[in-house]
Structure 1
Amino acid sequence: MNLKALQLFSSIMSLGTLSRAAEAHFLSESAASRQLSVLETELGFKLFSREKRSLIPTPQGRKFYLEAERILYGLNDLPEIAEIIKREQKSSLRLIAIPRLVRPIVSPAVARICNEDPELQVKVDVQAMRYLQRWVAGFQFHIGVGRLPAEHPSIVTRKFCSLPTMVALPRGHRLANRSELTLDDLEGESVVSLLKDTHLRKNIDSIYQAEGRTLRASVEVSSSYSAGCIVASGFGITIGDPFIVPSLGKGELEHVPLKTDFRYDFAFFEPAQGQLLETTKLFTQHVEEVTREYIQEHGFE
């Protein structure tokens, strides 16, 4: 596959028009159009529909863009990586984490390791689990911090905590002072939940199914953070792990444990091949330390 055509496609998606992308790549519009046509022929599907001289991404084009960006993301970092190797710069850390772990766990751990080593160069990316696993497996990051289970065959995991299921409520909610909640207690409450094809939603559905119930969500969203934002704005409740609350900031939400045996397991995601760098090992130690402090502060078992 032609790399230049792939870069041109990415530019069309980000800049919005063929003419702007062609200009950015120092091509004539006709030459850019030919490159795009060759790429579509090679792929076997259309990336854009042509409507009145405008290019509208097709559903296949949008999906392909997400994968193309993953590949180009790593390629764009090659000059920086080469420079580090050339300088024999060993003090570096490239990590990726899921959104809801950034504020309560990852950020404090990064701050601690950077304070210990001011020369350390750290790069942090935040992505959903499906991208985290792929990018760690492709050696684009030293380590990932996310939620089990792992599905990628080139990933190994190491669990660092297991947390109970929580109900996140808006401040002042009638159930906020309870020590524990059941699904009976939530009867009649509007539920903000994850989309049906996500692992988190499947987990929550299984909690309902275990009691012979069906979850009927009033609002479905793509992330726990979005669910928490809606609840914090005054609508409904949401069910998830304890990290939903601190990801929004102190005082935005209240949480109460849900009576269920289901727990959320969080782990380090590492490439199956190769050994962890000492800097990466030190970062994992800080994550474990921060997590212990978090669990102790909030009384999670």
Structure 2
Amino acid sequence: MNFKLRPLVGFVLAAHHGSFSLAASELAMTQPAFSQMIRELESVLGVQLFERTTRRVDLSEAGRELLSMVERPLDDLEDAWRYVRDIAGGKRGRIVFTTLPSVAFGIATNTLALFKAKHPEITARLIEEPDLTLVDRVLSREVDFGVGILPTQHPELAFRELFRDDLTVVVPMHHPLAKAKSVTWKELSKQSLVLLPRQSNTRHLAERGFAAAGIAVEPTYEVANMVTALSMVRAGLGITFMPRMVLRELNMSKLHAATLQSPRPERIIGVITRVDRTLSPASQAFVDMLFEEVRNTSRQEKAGARKRAA
């Protein structure tokens, strides 16, 4: 079989128009070149496809049979071509990424909403994971990329810094520590602690701060999520820790977030990818939008700080 796509497309156009000249014009060909292309197709098939007159061309019986068989596949092929072109252009596709819960709370969710509004034809799946599981998913190619912390350098992974975030302590609004501009780790060690699970990055930061201050502590309460932790603090059952970036996304009613004195644990959030895997156009478009959202949020926070200072 020596079929070529262009002669078949030309055959279908000539059949629809009943004219070689109109079909040739649609393919941006001269009529003699188009007629030669159809003759070559007939030669390959060994059959006449058109009955030619001086005014128009009509399909032969063999031509009618061929048209019924190739028209739908050619339409499907054109649809496939357009779909792949849309994927290459970032208009269609599918992205799967994983992120820390504290990042999903605000930055990732806000970016995802903006992305879906701009690219409704692209499907996106977000998976919340703690640090190590997040990294494992990127390594095993289960996701296109991760948004979180890379605890240690890995030869198969690339890390692009997105932003830096520090830890705050959250206390009830009328707690004595709420009046302080900053709080020491020694003061916190005397409080009932409401901490997240051990696999939580926020828990790691808090424990790192106490350890750096030479203080050994155990939580009074260990809860599964930030909402529960804040609810218990609001009820006066203790204090908790939250990354600064999530505070604007949480219900801080009757609560106060205080700055920690040195050591102030800091985490570096970034986009984690495999070094041997290029992001798809859709994934790259999302990552670009993620960085833009971080820049916009930073500008808004600085403007708000200047306004409060004034």
Confirm or deny a common fold (TM above 0.5).
yes
Confirm or deny that 1:285 pairs with 2:288: yes
SS of the equivalent of 1:185 reads: helix
Shift of 1:199: 5.4
Mapping of 1:64-143 within 5 angstroms?
A: 88=84, 90=87, 91-92=92-93, 93-143=95-145
Change (3 A) 1:225 1:143: farther
Contact 1:159 1:266 in 2 (8 A): yes
CA distance in 2, matches of 1:204, 1:153: 29
Question: Counterpart of 2:292 in structure 1: which amino acid?
Answer: E
RMSD: 3.1
User: In structure 2, what is the Cα distance between the partners aligned to 1:124 and 1:85?
Assistant: 28
TM-aligned CA distance change 1:226 to 1:122, over 3 Å = same
Distance 2:164 2:158 in 1: 17
Deviation for aligned residue 1:136 = 1.8
CA change 1:180–1:111 in 2 (3 A) is same
Query: Partners of 2:141 and 2:189 in 1: how far apart?
Result: 46
Checking the alignment, whether the CA contact within 8 Å between 2:160 and 2:272 is kept in structure 1 is yes
CA deviations 1:141-172 (Å, max 9, x no partner) are 21111123257653322111112221122344
Judging changes above 3 Å, is the alpha-carbon distance between structure 1 residues 149 and 177 closer, same or farther for their aligned structure 2 residues? same
Cα distance in 2 between the residues matched to 1:202 and 1:270: 23
In the alignment, is the contact (CA less than 8 A) between 1:133 and 1:152 conserved in 2? no
Code of the residue aligned with 2:158 in structure 1: it is: V
Question: CA 1:197 to 1:285, structure 2 compared with 1: closer, same or farther past 3 Å?
Answer: closer
Comparing both structures, which one devotes a greater share of its residues to helix? 2
| Counterparts of 1:252 and 1:271, CA distance in 2 | 43
Indicate which of 168, 171, 184 corresponds to 2:170: 168
Deviations 1:96-120 (A, max 9, x none): 2121211210111111122222222
Counterpart of 2:267?
264
Q: CA deviation at 1:255?
A: 1.3
The counterpart of 1:208, out of the listed 201, 205, 210, is: 210
* Preserved contact between residue 225 and residue 247 of structure 1 (Cα < 8 Å): no
CA–CA distance in structure 1, aligned partners of residues 143 and 118 of structure 2 = 21
Change (3 A) 1:172 1:284: farther
SS in 1 for 2:108: helix
- Counting aligned pairs with the same residue, the percent is 20
Contact 2:106 2:246 in 1 (8 A): no
Q: Which amino acid aligns with 2:111?
A: A
In the alignment of these two chains, the number of paired residues is 217
- Match in the other structure for 1:144: 146
1:250 deviates by: 5.2
CA–CA distance in structure 2, aligned partners of residues 99 and 237 of structure 1: 20
Structure 2 CA distance for partners of 1:96 and 1:117, relative to 1, 3 Å: same
Per-residue CA shift, 1:226-277, capped at 9, x if unaligned? 5344334442111242144345345374311111242111111112311122
TM-score, with normalisation over the residues of structure 1? 0.61
Cα gap change, 1:271/1:117 in structure 2, threshold over 3 Å: closer, same or farther?
same
After superposition, give the CA deviation of every residue in 1:8-63 in whole Å (9 maximum; x if it has no partner). xxxxxxxxxxxxxxxxxxxxxxxxxxxxxxxxxxxxxxxxxxxxxxxxxxxxxxxx
Give the 3-state SS of the residue equivalent to 1:149 in structure 2.
coil
Say if 1:86 and 1:231 are closer, same or farther in 2 by CA, change over 3 A.
farther
**Runs (5+) with no aligned partner, structure 2:** 1-79, 306-310
Deviates more, 1:110-119 or 1:214-223: 214-223
- Given that 1:103 and 1:246 are in contact with CA atoms closer than 8 Å, whether structure 2 keeps it comes out as no
Query: For residues 284 and 232 of structure 1, what CA distance do their matches in structure 2 show?
Result: 36
1:137–1:152 contact (8 Å) kept in structure 2: no
Provide TM-score, normalisation by structure 2: 0.59
Q: Secondary structure at the match of 1:288?
A: helix
Aligned residue for 2:34? Answer: none
Alignment partners' CA distance in 1, 2:247 and 2:139: 30
Q: Tell me the distance in 2 between the aligned counterparts of 1:157 and 1:226.
A: 32
Determine the C-alpha separation between the residues in 2 that align with 1:226 and 1:153: 38
